[in-house]
Amino acid sequence: MKRSDAIKRGKETVMPALKRALSICGLMLMLAGCGTGNSSAQSSAQAEERDTIGLSLYGLNYTDVPIGIFYVNGVWGGNSTPYAAGLSTAGSIGLPAKWHPGIKVKVQWRDDLLYDQDKDALTTAEVEVPRYGKIYSGYLLVAFLPGRKVKVYASGVGPGHKDAPDGLENPGEYCLKQPGCDEWYDSGKPPREGHY
Protein backbone atom coordinates (compact mmCIF):
# COMPACT_ATOMS: atom_id res chain seq x y z
CA MET A 1 0.00 0.00 0.00
CA LYS A 2 1.31 3.36 -0.98
CA ARG A 3 1.63 6.11 1.55
CA SER A 4 -0.85 8.32 -0.33
CA ASP A 5 -3.38 5.49 -0.30
CA ALA A 6 -2.98 5.08 3.47
CA ILE A 7 -3.52 8.81 4.02
CA LYS A 8 -6.66 8.74 1.86
CA ARG A 9 -7.96 5.70 3.72
CA GLY A 10 -7.30 7.36 7.11
CA LYS A 11 -9.16 10.48 5.99
CA GLU A 12 -12.05 8.34 4.84
CA THR A 13 -12.50 6.86 8.34
CA VAL A 14 -11.68 9.95 10.42
CA MET A 15 -13.63 12.54 8.43
CA PRO A 16 -17.09 10.95 8.72
CA ALA A 17 -16.63 10.45 12.47
CA LEU A 18 -15.49 14.07 12.88
CA LYS A 19 -18.43 15.35 10.82
CA ARG A 20 -20.83 13.30 12.95
CA ALA A 21 -19.34 14.62 16.23
CA LEU A 22 -19.50 18.24 15.03
CA SER A 23 -23.09 17.78 13.86
CA ILE A 24 -24.12 16.37 17.25
CA CYS A 25 -22.40 19.26 19.09
CA GLY A 26 -24.11 21.81 16.85
CA LEU A 27 -27.50 20.18 17.40
CA MET A 28 -26.99 20.21 21.18
CA LEU A 29 -26.07 23.90 21.13
CA MET A 30 -29.19 24.74 19.11
CA LEU A 31 -31.41 22.77 21.50
CA ALA A 32 -29.85 24.45 24.54
CA GLY A 33 -30.74 27.85 23.10
CA CYS A 34 -34.35 26.79 22.54
CA GLY A 35 -35.16 26.02 26.21
CA THR A 36 -38.68 26.95 27.31
CA GLY A 37 -39.30 30.05 29.38
CA ASN A 38 -35.94 31.67 28.67
CA SER A 39 -37.20 35.01 27.46
CA SER A 40 -34.70 37.82 27.91
CA ALA A 41 -37.14 39.73 30.15
CA GLN A 42 -37.43 36.75 32.48
CA SER A 43 -33.68 36.16 32.46
CA SER A 44 -32.83 39.76 33.30
CA ALA A 45 -35.43 39.85 36.09
CA GLN A 46 -33.98 36.65 37.55
CA ALA A 47 -30.46 38.02 37.22
CA GLU A 48 -31.47 41.21 39.04
CA GLU A 49 -32.85 39.15 41.92
CA ARG A 50 -29.59 37.22 42.15
CA ASP A 51 -27.32 40.29 41.87
CA THR A 52 -26.07 41.10 45.33
CA ILE A 53 -23.45 43.33 46.86
CA GLY A 54 -21.32 42.08 49.73
CA LEU A 55 -21.12 44.59 52.57
CA SER A 56 -18.81 44.51 55.60
CA LEU A 57 -20.60 44.93 58.93
CA TYR A 58 -19.53 48.14 60.68
CA GLY A 59 -20.83 48.89 64.19
CA LEU A 60 -21.42 52.49 65.31
CA ASN A 61 -22.19 53.08 68.98
CA TYR A 62 -23.87 56.40 69.83
CA THR A 63 -24.58 55.42 73.46
CA ASP A 64 -22.86 55.43 76.88
CA VAL A 65 -22.97 51.62 77.06
CA PRO A 66 -20.61 49.16 75.34
CA ILE A 67 -22.21 46.84 72.77
CA GLY A 68 -20.73 43.47 73.76
CA ILE A 69 -21.82 41.61 70.64
CA PHE A 70 -24.06 42.09 67.63
CA TYR A 71 -25.34 40.05 64.71
CA VAL A 72 -27.01 40.96 61.42
CA ASN A 73 -29.06 38.16 59.85
CA GLY A 74 -27.19 35.75 62.13
CA VAL A 75 -23.73 36.93 61.02
CA TRP A 76 -21.41 38.05 63.83
CA GLY A 77 -20.56 41.76 63.59
CA GLY A 78 -18.19 42.19 66.53
CA ASN A 79 -18.60 44.69 69.36
CA SER A 80 -18.31 48.43 69.94
CA THR A 81 -17.22 50.58 72.87
CA PRO A 82 -19.21 53.73 73.78
CA TYR A 83 -19.10 56.43 71.11
CA ALA A 84 -16.92 54.34 68.85
CA ALA A 85 -17.01 53.32 65.25
CA GLY A 86 -15.77 49.83 64.49
CA LEU A 87 -12.00 50.01 64.25
CA SER A 88 -12.24 47.05 61.93
CA THR A 89 -15.05 45.19 60.28
CA ALA A 90 -16.21 41.75 61.30
CA GLY A 91 -18.41 39.63 59.10
CA SER A 92 -20.29 40.60 55.99
CA ILE A 93 -23.70 40.14 54.46
CA GLY A 94 -25.22 40.42 51.01
CA LEU A 95 -27.98 42.81 50.00
CA PRO A 96 -29.63 43.21 46.60
CA ALA A 97 -27.37 45.30 44.35
CA LYS A 98 -30.40 47.39 43.39
CA TRP A 99 -32.42 48.82 46.27
CA HIS A 100 -36.17 48.20 46.38
CA PRO A 101 -38.76 48.87 49.10
CA GLY A 102 -39.09 46.27 51.82
CA ILE A 103 -35.45 45.22 52.25
CA LYS A 104 -35.04 44.37 55.93
CA VAL A 105 -32.35 42.87 58.13
CA LYS A 106 -32.57 41.27 61.55
CA VAL A 107 -30.23 42.90 64.07
CA GLN A 108 -29.53 41.24 67.43
CA TRP A 109 -27.27 42.70 70.09
CA ARG A 110 -26.38 42.69 73.74
CA ASP A 111 -25.15 45.79 75.53
CA ASP A 112 -23.46 45.60 78.93
CA LEU A 113 -26.65 46.59 80.81
CA LEU A 114 -28.56 43.68 79.28
CA TYR A 115 -25.60 41.37 79.96
CA ASP A 116 -25.78 42.29 83.67
CA GLN A 117 -29.45 41.17 83.68
CA ASP A 118 -29.13 38.04 81.52
CA LYS A 119 -25.85 36.87 79.99
CA ASP A 120 -27.65 35.02 77.18
CA ALA A 121 -30.30 37.61 76.26
CA LEU A 122 -30.26 39.55 73.01
CA THR A 123 -32.26 42.58 71.95
CA THR A 124 -33.77 41.90 68.52
CA ALA A 125 -35.06 44.32 65.91
CA GLU A 126 -36.13 43.90 62.32
CA VAL A 127 -34.83 47.00 60.59
CA GLU A 128 -35.72 48.36 57.16
CA VAL A 129 -32.74 49.30 55.00
CA PRO A 130 -33.25 52.83 53.62
CA ARG A 131 -32.74 53.64 49.94
CA TYR A 132 -29.18 53.29 48.70
CA GLY A 133 -27.57 53.90 45.32
CA LYS A 134 -25.02 51.89 43.40
CA ILE A 135 -22.40 50.47 45.76
CA TYR A 136 -19.32 48.76 44.40
CA SER A 137 -17.70 48.07 47.75
CA GLY A 138 -18.88 49.19 51.14
CA TYR A 139 -20.47 48.67 54.50
CA LEU A 140 -23.68 47.93 56.26
CA LEU A 141 -23.42 50.62 58.93
CA VAL A 142 -25.19 49.43 62.09
CA ALA A 143 -25.92 52.47 64.27
CA PHE A 144 -26.81 51.77 67.92
CA LEU A 145 -28.80 54.66 69.42
CA PRO A 146 -30.11 55.52 72.91
CA GLY A 147 -33.28 53.68 73.93
CA ARG A 148 -32.03 50.36 72.52
CA LYS A 149 -32.81 51.57 69.01
CA VAL A 150 -30.84 50.62 65.94
CA LYS A 151 -30.68 51.86 62.35
CA VAL A 152 -28.82 50.40 59.39
CA TYR A 153 -27.46 52.00 56.24
CA ALA A 154 -25.89 50.43 53.15
CA SER A 155 -23.10 52.77 52.08
CA GLY A 156 -19.88 52.99 50.15
CA VAL A 157 -18.47 55.41 52.75
CA GLY A 158 -18.15 55.47 56.52
CA PRO A 159 -19.50 57.90 59.11
CA GLY A 160 -18.12 61.42 59.00
CA HIS A 161 -17.68 61.36 55.22
CA LYS A 162 -19.47 64.16 53.36
CA ASP A 163 -21.57 61.56 51.52
CA ALA A 164 -22.43 59.45 54.59
CA PRO A 165 -26.11 58.46 54.68
CA ASP A 166 -28.33 60.59 56.93
CA GLY A 167 -25.30 62.79 57.63
CA LEU A 168 -23.94 60.14 60.01
CA GLU A 169 -21.13 61.50 62.14
CA ASN A 170 -18.30 59.53 63.61
CA PRO A 171 -19.58 58.55 67.09
CA GLY A 172 -16.52 60.05 68.81
CA GLU A 173 -17.07 63.40 67.09
CA TYR A 174 -20.77 63.18 67.93
CA CYS A 175 -19.86 62.72 71.62
CA LEU A 176 -17.63 65.81 71.59
CA LYS A 177 -20.59 67.91 70.37
CA GLN A 178 -22.94 66.67 73.13
CA PRO A 179 -22.91 68.64 76.41
CA GLY A 180 -21.08 66.68 79.11
CA CYS A 181 -20.25 63.66 76.96
CA ASP A 182 -16.51 64.23 76.86
CA GLU A 183 -16.34 64.73 80.64
CA TRP A 184 -18.49 61.65 81.24
CA TYR A 185 -16.38 59.54 78.86
CA ASP A 186 -13.18 60.21 80.82
CA SER A 187 -14.84 59.94 84.26
CA GLY A 188 -15.45 56.20 84.48
CA LYS A 189 -18.96 56.92 85.81
CA PRO A 190 -21.97 54.72 84.97
CA PRO A 191 -24.06 55.54 81.89
CA ARG A 192 -25.99 58.78 82.03
CA GLU A 193 -29.79 58.69 82.05
CA GLY A 194 -31.14 58.92 78.49
CA HIS A 195 -27.81 57.99 76.89
CA TYR A 196 -28.30 54.24 76.71
pLDDT digits (tens, 9 = 90+) for 96-145: 999 999 999 999 999 999 999 999 999 999 999 999 999 999 999 999 99
Q: How many CB atoms are closer than 10 A to CB 77?
A: 26
Co-location of 109 and 163 in the same domain? yes
Where does the chain have alpha helices with state H?
Answer: 3-33, 40-50, 112-117, 171-177, 181-187
pTM comes to 0.73
Nearest-10 Cα torsion for 20, 22, 28, 30: -120
Range of the domain at 181: 53-187
Co-location of 15 and 58 in the same domain? no
d(CA 110, CA 122) in angstroms, rounded, equals 5
Q: How many CB atoms are closer than 10 A to CB 80?
A: 27
Co-location of 90 and 176 in the same domain? yes
Q: Report the percentage of the chain scoring pLDDT > 90.
A: 64
Q: How many CB atoms are closer than 10 A to CB 168?
A: 21
Co-location of 101 and 173 in the same domain? yes
Is 162 a member of any domain? Answer: yes
When divided into structural domains, the chain yields a total of 2
**Residue 79 near residue 100, CB atoms below 8 Å:** no
Is 48 a member of any domain? Answer: no
Co-location of 162 and 70 in the same domain? yes
Radius of gyration of the chain (CA): 29
Co-location of 116 and 172 in the same domain? yes
Does the pLDDT at position 41 exceed 50? no
d(CA 71, CA 152) in angstroms, rounded, equals 12
Co-location of 134 and 73 in the same domain? yes
pLDDT, position 88: 62
**Residue 85 near residue 58, CB atoms below 8 Å:** yes
Q: Kindly report, residue by residue over 144-182, the tens digit of the pLDDT.
A: 999 999 999 999 999 999 999 999 999 999 999 999 998
Does the pLDDT at position 28 exceed 60? no
